[in-house]
Amino acid sequence: MPDELRGKVEPVRPFACHRGIAAPLLRDNVDTDAIIPSREMRRVSKRGLGAGLFANWRYADVGGRLPNPRFVLNQPAYAGASILLGGHNFGCGSSREHAVWALSDFGIRAIFAPSFGAIFRKNCIANGLLPGTVPAADLSTLAGWVAAAPQQNLLAIDLRAGKVSTAKAELAFGIRPGDRQLLLRGLDPIAHTLTAAASIDAFERARFDACPWAKLN
Protein backbone atom coordinates (compact mmCIF):
# COMPACT_ATOMS: atom_id res chain seq x y z
CA MET A 1 0.00 0.00 0.00
CA PRO A 2 1.39 3.47 -0.85
CA ASP A 3 2.76 5.36 2.15
CA GLU A 4 0.26 8.19 1.66
CA LEU A 5 -2.61 5.73 2.22
CA ARG A 6 -1.23 4.04 5.31
CA GLY A 7 -3.25 4.84 8.42
CA LYS A 8 -6.13 6.20 6.33
CA VAL A 9 -7.51 2.93 4.92
CA GLU A 10 -8.66 0.18 7.26
CA PRO A 11 -7.06 -3.10 6.20
CA VAL A 12 -9.35 -6.05 5.55
CA ARG A 13 -9.18 -8.67 8.26
CA PRO A 14 -8.11 -12.03 6.77
CA PHE A 15 -10.52 -14.93 7.17
CA ALA A 16 -9.31 -18.52 7.56
CA CYS A 17 -11.15 -20.19 10.44
CA HIS A 18 -13.86 -18.97 12.77
CA ARG A 19 -15.93 -20.49 15.56
CA GLY A 20 -18.94 -18.69 16.94
CA ILE A 21 -22.60 -18.38 17.84
CA ALA A 22 -24.97 -18.58 14.89
CA ALA A 23 -28.28 -16.70 14.74
CA PRO A 24 -31.02 -17.91 12.39
CA LEU A 25 -32.68 -15.27 10.22
CA LEU A 26 -34.23 -17.61 7.69
CA ARG A 27 -36.18 -15.00 5.75
CA ASP A 28 -36.06 -14.83 1.97
CA ASN A 29 -35.24 -11.59 0.13
CA VAL A 30 -33.74 -9.69 3.05
CA ASP A 31 -32.72 -6.54 1.22
CA THR A 32 -30.05 -3.98 2.03
CA ASP A 33 -32.62 -1.47 3.30
CA ALA A 34 -33.73 -4.06 5.86
CA ILE A 35 -30.11 -4.70 6.82
CA ILE A 36 -29.59 -0.99 7.43
CA PRO A 37 -32.33 1.57 6.70
CA SER A 38 -31.19 4.72 4.93
CA ARG A 39 -31.99 6.88 7.98
CA GLU A 40 -29.27 4.99 9.89
CA MET A 41 -26.53 5.96 7.43
CA ARG A 42 -25.55 9.20 9.12
CA ARG A 43 -21.84 8.57 9.60
CA VAL A 44 -18.80 9.19 7.44
CA SER A 45 -17.05 6.30 9.18
CA LYS A 46 -17.80 2.58 9.04
CA ARG A 47 -17.57 2.48 12.81
CA GLY A 48 -20.80 2.73 14.76
CA LEU A 49 -23.02 1.52 11.92
CA GLY A 50 -23.73 -1.69 13.83
CA ALA A 51 -26.17 0.26 16.01
CA GLY A 52 -28.44 0.64 12.97
CA LEU A 53 -28.24 -3.00 11.85
CA PHE A 54 -31.73 -4.39 11.14
CA ALA A 55 -33.11 -1.26 12.84
CA ASN A 56 -36.70 -1.74 11.65
CA TRP A 57 -36.80 -5.25 13.14
CA ARG A 58 -34.39 -4.88 16.01
CA TYR A 59 -36.09 -1.90 17.64
CA ALA A 60 -39.71 -1.56 18.68
CA ASP A 61 -39.82 2.22 18.13
CA VAL A 62 -39.13 3.57 14.66
CA GLY A 63 -36.00 5.68 14.74
CA GLY A 64 -35.42 4.83 18.40
CA ARG A 65 -33.49 2.26 20.36
CA LEU A 66 -36.12 0.33 22.33
CA PRO A 67 -35.18 -3.33 21.75
CA ASN A 68 -37.75 -5.63 20.20
CA PRO A 69 -37.48 -8.79 22.35
CA ARG A 70 -38.85 -10.98 19.54
CA PHE A 71 -36.00 -10.22 17.15
CA VAL A 72 -33.37 -12.95 17.16
CA LEU A 73 -30.33 -10.72 17.74
CA ASN A 74 -31.99 -9.25 20.85
CA GLN A 75 -32.61 -12.63 22.45
CA PRO A 76 -30.14 -13.52 25.24
CA ALA A 77 -29.65 -17.00 23.79
CA TYR A 78 -28.04 -15.46 20.70
CA ALA A 79 -26.04 -12.72 22.43
CA GLY A 80 -22.65 -12.34 20.81
CA ALA A 81 -23.68 -13.96 17.53
CA SER A 82 -20.99 -13.69 14.86
CA ILE A 83 -22.61 -15.92 12.21
CA LEU A 84 -25.96 -15.42 10.45
CA LEU A 85 -28.06 -18.14 8.83
CA GLY A 86 -30.15 -16.47 6.14
CA GLY A 87 -32.69 -17.21 3.44
CA HIS A 88 -32.73 -17.06 -0.34
CA ASN A 89 -31.44 -13.90 -2.04
CA PHE A 90 -29.92 -12.44 1.12
CA GLY A 91 -28.68 -8.88 0.57
CA CYS A 92 -30.77 -8.12 -2.50
CA GLY A 93 -31.94 -4.61 -3.36
CA SER A 94 -29.64 -1.61 -3.57
CA SER A 95 -25.85 -1.65 -3.83
CA ARG A 96 -25.30 0.12 -0.49
CA GLU A 97 -22.04 -1.06 1.01
CA HIS A 98 -23.22 0.27 4.38
CA ALA A 99 -25.16 -3.00 4.77
CA VAL A 100 -21.94 -4.98 4.93
CA TRP A 101 -20.24 -2.34 7.05
CA ALA A 102 -23.11 -2.52 9.57
CA LEU A 103 -22.92 -6.31 9.74
CA SER A 104 -19.16 -6.22 10.26
CA ASP A 105 -19.35 -3.45 12.86
CA PHE A 106 -21.94 -5.48 14.78
CA GLY A 107 -19.52 -8.41 14.84
CA ILE A 108 -20.83 -10.66 12.06
CA ARG A 109 -17.99 -12.57 10.38
CA ALA A 110 -19.92 -14.97 8.15
CA ILE A 111 -23.34 -15.41 6.57
CA PHE A 112 -24.67 -18.68 5.18
CA ALA A 113 -27.63 -18.59 2.82
CA PRO A 114 -28.89 -20.48 -0.25
CA SER A 115 -28.13 -17.43 -2.42
CA PHE A 116 -27.04 -13.80 -2.17
CA GLY A 117 -27.64 -10.55 -3.98
CA ALA A 118 -24.77 -10.25 -6.48
CA ILE A 119 -23.49 -6.81 -5.43
CA PHE A 120 -23.95 -7.61 -1.74
CA ARG A 121 -21.83 -10.76 -2.16
CA LYS A 122 -19.05 -8.72 -3.79
CA ASN A 123 -19.23 -6.13 -1.01
CA CYS A 124 -18.90 -8.91 1.56
CA ILE A 125 -15.71 -10.18 -0.07
CA ALA A 126 -14.29 -6.65 -0.29
CA ASN A 127 -14.80 -6.19 3.46
CA GLY A 128 -13.65 -9.58 4.75
CA LEU A 129 -17.10 -10.99 5.50
CA LEU A 130 -17.69 -14.57 4.34
CA PRO A 131 -20.82 -15.20 2.22
CA GLY A 132 -21.14 -18.98 1.97
CA THR A 133 -23.90 -20.71 0.03
CA VAL A 134 -25.63 -23.65 1.72
CA PRO A 135 -28.83 -25.41 0.57
CA ALA A 136 -31.98 -24.34 2.41
CA ALA A 137 -32.58 -27.81 3.85
CA ASP A 138 -29.09 -27.90 5.36
CA LEU A 139 -29.55 -24.42 6.80
CA SER A 140 -32.76 -25.53 8.50
CA THR A 141 -30.88 -28.47 10.00
CA LEU A 142 -28.09 -26.17 11.25
CA ALA A 143 -30.60 -23.69 12.68
CA GLY A 144 -32.44 -26.46 14.51
CA TRP A 145 -29.25 -27.82 16.03
CA VAL A 146 -28.08 -24.36 17.08
CA ALA A 147 -31.47 -23.45 18.58
CA ALA A 148 -31.27 -26.29 21.10
CA ALA A 149 -28.45 -24.47 22.93
CA PRO A 150 -27.14 -21.46 20.98
CA GLN A 151 -24.37 -20.54 23.42
CA GLN A 152 -23.00 -24.08 23.45
CA ASN A 153 -23.79 -25.35 19.94
CA LEU A 154 -21.26 -23.24 18.11
CA LEU A 155 -20.48 -23.48 14.41
CA ALA A 156 -16.91 -23.93 13.24
CA ILE A 157 -15.90 -22.59 9.82
CA ASP A 158 -12.85 -23.68 7.85
CA LEU A 159 -12.58 -21.52 4.74
CA ARG A 160 -9.66 -23.43 3.22
CA ALA A 161 -11.63 -26.68 3.40
CA GLY A 162 -14.94 -24.99 2.53
CA LYS A 163 -16.62 -26.65 5.50
CA VAL A 164 -18.93 -25.55 8.31
CA SER A 165 -19.13 -27.97 11.20
CA THR A 166 -21.23 -28.78 14.25
CA ALA A 167 -20.32 -31.24 16.96
CA LYS A 168 -22.26 -33.87 15.01
CA ALA A 169 -21.89 -33.04 11.32
CA GLU A 170 -19.81 -31.32 8.68
CA LEU A 171 -21.29 -29.52 5.68
CA ALA A 172 -19.69 -28.08 2.58
CA PHE A 173 -20.47 -24.49 1.61
CA GLY A 174 -20.04 -22.79 -1.74
CA ILE A 175 -17.70 -19.91 -2.48
CA ARG A 176 -15.91 -18.90 -5.66
CA PRO A 177 -12.19 -19.83 -5.70
CA GLY A 178 -11.11 -16.25 -6.37
CA ASP A 179 -13.26 -14.95 -3.51
CA ARG A 180 -11.84 -17.61 -1.20
CA GLN A 181 -8.30 -16.43 -1.93
CA LEU A 182 -9.16 -12.75 -1.37
CA LEU A 183 -10.69 -13.57 2.02
CA LEU A 184 -7.80 -15.80 3.06
CA ARG A 185 -5.29 -13.09 2.15
CA GLY A 186 -7.36 -10.20 3.52
CA LEU A 187 -7.36 -8.26 0.26
CA ASP A 188 -9.89 -5.67 -0.84
CA PRO A 189 -10.02 -4.65 -4.54
CA ILE A 190 -7.43 -1.87 -4.09
CA ALA A 191 -5.02 -4.07 -2.13
CA HIS A 192 -5.49 -6.83 -4.70
CA THR A 193 -4.61 -4.42 -7.52
CA LEU A 194 -1.54 -3.23 -5.62
CA THR A 195 -0.15 -6.78 -5.52
CA ALA A 196 0.62 -6.15 -9.20
CA ALA A 197 2.18 -2.72 -8.57
CA ALA A 198 5.58 -3.74 -9.96
CA SER A 199 4.03 -4.97 -13.21
CA ILE A 200 1.90 -1.84 -13.49
CA ASP A 201 4.94 0.40 -12.97
CA ALA A 202 6.93 -1.58 -15.56
CA PHE A 203 4.11 -1.24 -18.09
CA GLU A 204 3.86 2.50 -17.52
CA ARG A 205 7.62 3.00 -17.94
CA ALA A 206 7.64 1.01 -21.17
CA ARG A 207 4.59 2.86 -22.44
CA PHE A 208 6.06 6.29 -21.75
CA ASP A 209 9.42 5.29 -23.22
CA ALA A 210 7.62 4.33 -26.42
CA CYS A 211 5.29 7.34 -26.38
CA PRO A 212 6.98 10.14 -24.37
CA TRP A 213 4.43 12.61 -25.70
CA ALA A 214 1.72 10.79 -23.68
CA LYS A 215 3.34 11.54 -20.33
CA LEU A 216 1.79 14.41 -18.43
CA ASN A 217 4.22 16.75 -16.68
pLDDT digits (tens, 9 = 90+) for 123-171: 999 999 999 999 999 999 999 999 999 999 999 999 999 999 999 899 9
Percent of the chain at pLDDT exceeding 70: 93
CATH 3.20.19.10 segments of the chain? 14-186
Q: Which residues make Cβ contacts (< 8 Å) with residue 167, sequence separation at least 6?
A: 153
Q: What would the 3-class secondary structure string for 98-128 be?
A: HHHHHHHHHCCCEEEECCECHHHHHHHHHCC
pLDDT for the residue numbered 196: 67
Q: Please state whether the predicted TM-score (pTM) of the whole model is above 0.85.
A: yes
pLDDT band of residue 9 (cuts 50, 70, 90) is low
Round to whole Å and give the CA distance between 183 and 185: 5
Where is average pLDDT lowest: 8-12, 13-17, 24-28?
Answer: 8-12
Class of domain 14-186: alpha beta
pLDDT (tens digit, 9 = 90+) per residue, 70-114?
999 999 999 999 999 999 999 999 999 999 999 999 999 999 999
Long-range interactions of 197-202: CB distance < 8 A, separation 24+: none
Cα R_g (the chain), whole angstroms: 20
* Integer Cα distance of 79 and 22 in angstroms: 10
Distance CA 162, CA 171 (A): 8
- The predicted structure's pLDDT at residue 150: 98
Assign 192 a pLDDT band (cuts: 50, 70, 90).
low
